[in-house]
């Protein structure tokens, strides 16, 4: 990241790079992002799995719990907090979009 030359953004960049901010950001990614990923995973699988609808809903939930836990590991395993957010938000957004696209089962 290019550090801008003016003092305020530089200070801001300093704050952002402080390890505590990184940890707080990763924690939010793990907890909120992890839950969002679990929620979208369960909704998407409920609609997308080619099986009985009620069974798909249950399968989606059982898988989503694991997805949420993996998101927390990811948030603290990758090199930067930004990657942590991208790695969780992107699949969550994709599955959220997939859920909207598939629409409610009539």
Which residues contact other proteins by CB under 8 A? Answer: 19, 22, 30, 34, 38-40, 42-47, 51-62, 64-66, 68-69, 72-73, 76-77, 79, 99, 104-105
| Cβ burial, residue 34 (10 Å; 0-12/13-18/19+) | buried
Q: Which is nearer to other proteins, 12 or 65 (CB)?
A: 65
Q: How far is the CB of 11 from other proteins (least distance, A)?
A: 22
* CA dihedral sign, ordered 6, 28, 62, 101: negative
The Cα 88–Cα 27 span in angstroms is: 12
Q: Which is nearer to other proteins, 5 or 105 (CB)?
A: 105
Q: Which is nearer to other proteins, 13 or 76 (CB)?
A: 76
Q: How far is the CB of 90 from other proteins (least distance, A)?
A: 19
> Structure tokens of 59?
């399968």
Q: How many CB atoms lie under 10 A from the CB of residue 2?
A: 5
């Amino acid at each position: 990241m290019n550090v801008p030359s003016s003092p305020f953004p530089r200070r801001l960049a300093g704050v952002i790079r402080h390890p505590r901010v990184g940890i707080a950001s990763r924690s939010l990614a793990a907890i909120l992002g992890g839950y969002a990923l679990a929620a979208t995973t369960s909704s998407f699988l409920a609609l997308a799995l080619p099986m009985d609808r009620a069974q798909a809903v249950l399968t989606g939930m059982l898988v989503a719990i694991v997805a949420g836990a993996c998101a927390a590991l990811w948030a603290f395993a990758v090199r930067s907090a930004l990657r942590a957010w991208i790695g969780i938000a992107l699949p969550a957004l994709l599955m959220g979009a997939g859920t909207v696209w598939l629409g409610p089962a009539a």
